[in-house]
């Protein structure tokens, strides 16, 4: 995947999570991503944990970017940004409506001044909608989209997904939209505006569940670690841990029964198809849970592997990043920084080049502005990064 976006310059005006994640995805694919921050910095720098004074939250979202400080409330700051945008292919922003207009950076205004630029806006709600001026966060999007109504145990309280899936989905859609619009700009010679609302991004993840609910008129509700339409397909406790079992289709059902010595279930004609098993969810889950609950994790995994049943151990994050596959795949990478090395989890589409640490506040201001203004520009002294 080396160099997918070599030569593409991205100006990242975004803050916190969704926008910076979009920028990092583009950086991992080889783009030159320039992170522009106000003098006080991205508020994500204050989110912990902090190791040796460095925010791991901020660092995980801004690796491989160059950092520039520009005060966009001042004339020099705005002129510096305009010079930077003259050299850019893509800009990513997540300002609230009103704030972006005050800075003269509304998408329409940017495209008027920079016709070949791709402008990616990550918003709370679609601009022009009745909610366009409302703020939002991942928790709000998970609640409004219906995702939280699906998450948790049956009969229990609604649960937020453990990672910020709304923000991360918006970041991925933003990166995808940026690349698609850039391809159009190369072909047609003009840029365009791509908007990615947070709520829309969250709802896009509902896919088959939303279609099923709309066509049946039935809300699916939570099923814990299980699946609404496939049984058995969930996490089961062992004597010393957890394993997951995924019996998709009908091929694996008799194999699971054999592995767990569930001869009575295997012989039942009323459980041979997945729709039949879904109707008998509670009985099957309870029986499989009892069988696996008598085994150690090691023994359960051995039996399932011998039988050829799709399965996996349930790992913690620290166990997952230390697993042989993840270690050999290069997904975990160590990054050197002035405060000491830190590790990140990379995406699957990465350039393969050397990694650079998330920038210190304004670390590359003078270098970048020298590139866009010229090393002998008298305005360069304004930018003391």
Distance, in Å, from the CA atom of 363 to the CA atom of 385, rounded to the nearest integer, reads 6
User: Residues 187, 137: one domain?
Assistant: yes
User: Residues 253, 133: one domain?
Assistant: no
User: What pLDDT digit, counting tens, does each position of 268-294 carry?
Assistant: 999 999 999 999 999 999 999 999 999
8 CB contacts (<8 Å, ≥6 apart)? 26, 30, 31, 32, 89, 90, 182
214 CB contacts (<8 Å, ≥6 apart)? none
| Structural domain count, the chain | 2
User: What pLDDT digit, counting tens, does each position of 302-342 carry?
Assistant: 999 999 999 999 999 999 999 999 999 989 999 999 999 99
Model confidence at 16: pLDDT above 70: yes
Whether residue 267 lies inside any domain: the answer is: yes
Distance, in Å, from the CA atom of 310 to the CA atom of 225, rounded to the nearest integer, reads 15
How would residue 2 be classed by pLDDT, with cut points 50, 70 and 90?
low
User: Residues 306, 336: one domain?
Assistant: no
Whether residue 292 lies inside any domain: the answer is: yes
Q: What angle do CA 197, 198, 202 make, to 5 degrees?
A: 120
Distance, in Å, from the CA atom of 247 to the CA atom of 382, rounded to the nearest integer, reads 64
Whether residue 65 lies inside any domain: the answer is: yes
| CA neighbor of 111 nearest in space, from 181, 201, 19 | 181
| CA neighbor of 258 nearest in space, from 293, 289, 304 | 304
Q: Do 21 and 102 meet the contact criterion of CB atoms below 8 Å apart? A: no
Instruction: Give the pair of three-digit tokens for residue 25.
Output: 């995805």
CATH of the domain at 243: 3.30.1540.10
User: Residues 192, 245: one domain?
Assistant: no
User: Residues 341, 299: one domain?
Assistant: no
255, 283, 314 — which closes off a domain? 314
User: Residues 185, 237: one domain?
Assistant: no
How would residue 101 be classed by pLDDT, with cut points 50, 70 and 90?
confident
Q: What angle do CA 74, 78, 84 make, to 5 degrees?
A: 150
Please give the full DSSP string across 79-105, using - where no structure is assigned.
Answer: HHHHHHHHT-SEEEE-PPTTHHHHTT-
314, 340, 374 — which closes off a domain? 314
How would residue 20 be classed by pLDDT, with cut points 50, 70 and 90?
very high
Residues of the chain with pLDDT > 90, as a percent, come to 86
Domain limits for position 292:
233-314
User: Residues 138, 178: one domain?
Assistant: yes
Tokens 């970041």 correspond to 171
User: What pLDDT digit, counting tens, does each position of 51-80 carry?
Assistant: 999 999 999 999 999 999 999 999 889 999
Q: Is 167 a catalytic residue?
A: yes
Distance, in Å, from the CA atom of 196 to the CA atom of 172, rounded to the nearest integer, reads 10
Torsions phi, psi for 76 (to 5 deg) = -60, -40
What is the separation of C-alpha 197 from the centre of its chain, rounded to a whole number of angstroms? 14
Annotate 318-333 with b (16+ C-beta within 10 A) or e (fewer): eeeeeeeeeeeeebee
Distance, in Å, from the CA atom of 150 to the CA atom of 192, rounded to the nearest integer, reads 36
Whether residue 62 lies inside any domain: the answer is: yes
CATH of the domain at 164: 3.40.50.10540
Around Cβ 115, how many Cβ atoms within 10 Å? 12
Radius of gyration for the chain, computed over Cα atoms and rounded to the nearest angstrom: 25
User: Residues 36, 61: one domain?
Assistant: yes
Residues of the chain with pLDDT > 70, as a percent, come to 99
Whether residue 216 lies inside any domain: the answer is: no
pLDDT of residue 133: 87
Whether residue 225 lies inside any domain: the answer is: no
User: Residues 270, 353: one domain?
Assistant: no
| CA neighbor of 24 nearest in space, from 36, 16, 11, 33 | 33
pTM exceeds 0.85 = yes
Distance, in Å, from the CA atom of 296 to the CA atom of 354, rounded to the nearest integer, reads 42
Q: Do 281 and 226 meet the contact criterion of CB atoms below 8 Å apart? A: yes
User: Residues 45, 88: one domain?
Assistant: yes
Whether residue 226 lies inside any domain: the answer is: no
292, 314, 336 — which closes off a domain? 314
Whether residue 212 lies inside any domain: the answer is: no
User: Residues 95, 195: one domain?
Assistant: yes
How would residue 127 be classed by pLDDT, with cut points 50, 70 and 90?
confident
Instruction: Give the pair of three-digit tokens for residue 315.
Output: 């790992």
The residues that bridge with 344 in the sheet, in sequence order, are 333
Please give the full DSSP string across 285-327, using - where no structure is assigned.
Answer: HHHHHHHHTTS-HHHHHHHHHHHT--EEE---HHHHHTSHHHH
Instruction: Give the pair of three-digit tokens for residue 365.
Output: 């201001």
User: Given 42, 89, 167, 200, which residue is catalytic?
Assistant: 167
216 CB contacts (<8 Å, ≥6 apart)? none
160 CB contacts (<8 Å, ≥6 apart)? 138, 139, 142, 148, 151
User: Residues 124, 40: one domain?
Assistant: yes
């Amino acid at each position: 995947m080396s160099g997918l976006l070599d030569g593409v310059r991205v100006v990242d005006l975004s803050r916190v999570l969704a926008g910076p994640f979009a920028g990092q995805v583009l950086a991992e694919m080889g783009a030159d991503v320039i992170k522009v921050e106000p003098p006080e910095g991205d508020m994500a720098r204050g989110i912990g944990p902090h190791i040796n004074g460095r925010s791991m939250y901020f660092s995980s979202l801004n690796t491989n970017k160059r950092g520039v400080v520009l005060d966009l409330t001042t004339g020099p700051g705005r002129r510096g940004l305009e010079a930077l945008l003259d050299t850019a292919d893509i800009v990513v922003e997540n300002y609230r409506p009103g704030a972006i207009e005050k800075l003269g950076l509304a998408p329409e205004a940017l495209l008027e001044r920079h016709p070949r630029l791709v402008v990616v806006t990550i918003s709370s709600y679609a601009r022009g909608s009745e909610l366009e001026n409302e703020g939002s966060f991942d928790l709000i999007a998970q609640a409004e989209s219906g995702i939280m109504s699906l998450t948790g145990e049956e009969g229990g309280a609604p649960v937020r997904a453990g990672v910020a899936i709304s923000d991360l989905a918006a970041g991925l859609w933003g990166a995808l939209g940026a690349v698609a619009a850039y391809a159009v700009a190369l072909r047609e010679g003009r840029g365009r505006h791509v908007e990615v609302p947070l709520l829309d991004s969250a709802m896009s993840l509902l896919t088959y569940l939303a279609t099923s609910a709309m066509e049946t008129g039935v809300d699916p509700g939570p099923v814990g670690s299980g699946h609404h339409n496939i049984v058995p397909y969930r996490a089961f406790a062992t004597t010393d841990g957890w394993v997951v079992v995924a019996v998709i289709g009908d091929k694996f059902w008799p194999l699971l029964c054999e592995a767990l010595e569930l001869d009575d279930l295997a012989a039942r004609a009323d459980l041979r198809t997945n729709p039949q098993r879904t109707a008998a969810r509670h009985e099957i889950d309870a029986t499989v849970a009892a069988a696996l609950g008598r085994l150690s994790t090691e023994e359960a995994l051995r039996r399932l592997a011998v039988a050829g049943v799709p399965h996996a151990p349930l790992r913690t994050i620290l166990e997952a990043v230390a697993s042989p596959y993840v270690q050999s795949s290069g997904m975990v990478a160590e990054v050197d920084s002035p405060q000491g090395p830190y590790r990140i989890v990379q995406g699957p589409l990465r350039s393969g080049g050397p990694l650079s640490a998330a920038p210190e506040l304004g670390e590359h201001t003078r270098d970048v502005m020298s590139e866009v203004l010229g090393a002998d520009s008298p305005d360069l002294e304004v930018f003391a990064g």
